[in-house]
Amino acid sequence: DAGVIQSPRHEVTEMGQEVTLRCKPISGHNSLFWYRQTMMRGLELLIYFNNNVPIDDSGMPEDRFSAKMPNASFSTLKIQPSEPRDSAVYFCASSFLAGELFFGEGSRLTVL
């Protein structure tokens, strides 16, 4: 299995631009998570889906952030408009039946 696949691995953009991060979970996993990691705030859970349905989005910072999971093999996290404080590593992870999380390599976002 290829594991959780995220793209892009690195993105540098300017403030105000739209950013879209993509994730392909492990086939057969029924839960998908988006985390953000910074030095100051650690690993923060932004949102998670069970069976493609958003269950808890209380960690989404504000309306500029949105996440979708149109099918079991694809999810996106969108930031519009982006701000410098959004700079972080964004991880996608998937799991099966509340088991261990498998993380992707992460998307490192820099907003100038």
Partner 1 sequence: GQQVMQIPQYQHVQEGEDFTTYCNSSTTLSNIQWYKQRPGGHPVFLIQLVKSGEVKKQKRLTFQFGEAKKNSSLHITATQTTDVGTYFCARGSSNTGKLIFGQGTTLQVKP
Return residues touching partner 1 (CB under 8 A). Answer: 31, 33, 35, 42-43, 45, 48, 50, 55-56, 91, 93, 95, 97-106
Task: Answer whether 69's CB lies under 8 Å from 54's CB.
Answer: yes
Query: Which CB atom, from 74 or from 102, has the smaller least distance to partner 1?
Result: 102
Q: Which of 2, 1, 24, 20 minimizes the C-alpha distance to 11?
A: 20
Nearer to partner 1, 19 or 36 (CB): 36
Which CB atom, from 65 or from 91, has the smaller least distance to partner 1?
Answer: 91
Q: Taking the complex as a whole, how short is the minimal distance between the CB of residue 79 and partner 1, in angstroms?
A: 20
Helix or strand or coil: residue 44? strand
Tell me how far apart the alpha carbons of residues 46 and 28 are, in angstroms, rounded to a whole number.
Answer: 22
Q: How many helices (H) and strands (E) does the chain have?
A: 0, 11
CB of 103 to partner 1, least distance (A): 4
Nearer to partner 1, 49 or 65 (CB): 49
**Where do we find the tokens 């996290």?**
77
